[in-house]
Chain A
């Protein structure tokens, strides 16, 4: 379980202090996927940087399974909007980067070949990122995160740079792989639709400074033909209303 208690983050810019997160409290159950939704600039990404151990200057406490966050000992997969691939590494080297840093065996074992195949990038292994489309690059980033077998998977609007059709395709693909390897996941989005489709729980953020307004159970999660169901439209209405207020 990830326990976040009274987490506040301040930014120092131009001698002015800006409060990015204001006393955020949430417990994230292991093996669940939480979507965090809120207006842009509400500090969602800041929260992610705290969880990934990149941002260390915060108040309050954050722990994963009762241990403080430490990227050196924990396995944290991070998937960013701009994919975070290294342009000088080909697809294979990029997908293996996570376990390389963790000093694992870097051979293409059954599990990693399976992930690469599932994501449809097993035929692109010697290409470089610039030779790939946005969707393909994001598949590589997802493959890297899953091959790492992370304790915690963090995703910062990973699909928002993709076109609408590719985005839905990727959401489905991601959910499929996720169902087979239920990693604790925090998924940040500004799309109501995406939050409903991917989150078993939905945390709604207030505008800046970010506070969690409410954590909702999502009845739509893991439902087939989701977008045609009544629950979907009523949840969607509810969320939109909360975000407006």
Chain B
């Protein structure tokens, strides 16, 4: 589980952010920067009635996006890391397409896949799958040659090599990549939810803004951040559990 220092660190950072936020709102005295306390009060008031449904949609999209990216990216990365020939064919492609700003492809994706869920997921996957492919590949490549020796002498099959060495050796790096991808995924999610849907935190935030309801808008931002934070922590816990040996 999470050690005590981590909880204390989280609490401390939360307090610092709230105090700074409060100081800015007190100095500016503008409706665009409301006090954090009125925002929190607003959240507790409207969460069940109006925010909950958006959280469920956004959470579903994020988790699905990450899951699909892992399902595609990790096996691909493993193949590239383990088989030099696959790497030689795919690496140039990955390197060539990685820097293309995928968000700019949004119009194309929307034309091809419509305005619905599919194009939102495709956007998330298109952007974060690269990080996961490259990290998984490098994690496999970083396993020292000697690690395989004793298993080779035992006559281990490829599947056994995978189960005993490749998977456990790379797991921690894959989780780190997932954690990094999460931050990106939340931003893309927000962006893709601003059109073609009436559900999702992105929609809720932009809609509140259009209605000049800054309290609601901030409530949305806080809830979306908190959601990201929770997934982040969940990956942390998973890592400390599966990578005990580190």
Contact = CB atoms under 8 A, between A and B. Distances in A.
Contact of A54 (B149, B164, B165, B244): B149
A101 interface: yes
B245 A101 contact: no
Nearest to A83: B150
Given A72-B155, A101-B156, A154-B153, A86 B164 contact: yes
Contacts of A87: 245
A54 B153 contact: yes
Interface stretch (A74-82, A105-113, A227-235, A237-245): A74-82
Q: How large is the interface on A (under 10, 10 to 19, 20 to 34, 35 or more residues)?
A: 20 to 34
Contacts of A54: 149, 152-153
A53 B245 contact: no
Given A86-B147, A88-B168, A128-B245, A70 B153 contact: no
B2 interface: no
A104 to B, nearest CB: 11
B154 interface: yes
A84 interface: yes
A148 B151 CA distance: 12
A57 B229 CA distance: 53
Contacts of A102: 154-155
Contacts of B160: 101
Contacts of B146: 80, 82, 84
B153 A71 contact: yes
A86 B101 CA distance: 40
Q: How large is the interface on B (under 10, 10 to 19, 20 to 34, 35 or more residues)?
A: 10 to 19
A158 interface: no
Given A88-B168, A88-B169, A88-B245, A80 B155 contact: no
Contacts of B245: 87-90, 128-130
Contacts of B153: 52-54, 71, 76-78, 154
A117 B150 CA distance: 23
A12 interface: no
Most buried by B among A53, A77, A88: A88
A84 B147 CA distance: 6
A101 B152 CA distance: 10
A38 interface: no
A133 interface: no
Contacts of B156: 101
B33 to A, nearest CB: 49
Contact of B154 (A76, A80, A128, A130): A76
A14 B136 CA distance: 29
A105 to B, nearest CB: 16
Contacts of A100: 164
A82 B150 CA distance: 11
A86 B155 contact: no
B168 A86 contact: yes
A77 B155 CA distance: 10
Contacts of A52: 149, 152-153
A98 interface: yes
Nearest to A130: B245
A97 interface: yes
A98 B164 CA distance: 11
Contacts of A97: 150-151, 154, 164
A101 B244 contact: no
Interface in B168-191: 168-169
Contacts of A129: 245
A13 interface: no
29 contacts: A52-B149, A52-B153, A53-B153, A53-B155, A54-B149, A54-B152, A54-B153, A71-B152, A76-B154, A76-B155, A78-B150, A78-B153, A78-B154, A80-B146, A84-B149, A84-B150, A86-B164, A86-B168, A88-B245, A89-B164, A90-B245, A97-B151, A100-B164, A101-B151, A101-B160, A102-B155, A130-B246, A148-B154, A154-B153
Given A71-B152, A129-B245, 17 more contacts: A53-B155, A54-B152, A71-B155, A74-B155, A77-B153, A78-B154, A84-B147, A88-B168, A88-B169, A89-B245, A97-B164, A101-B151, A101-B155, A101-B160, A128-B245, A130-B246, A144-B150
Q: Which 3 A-B pairs have the closest CB atoms?
A: A71-B155, A72-B155, A78-B153
Interface of B: 146-147, 149-156, 160, 164-165, 168-169, 243-246
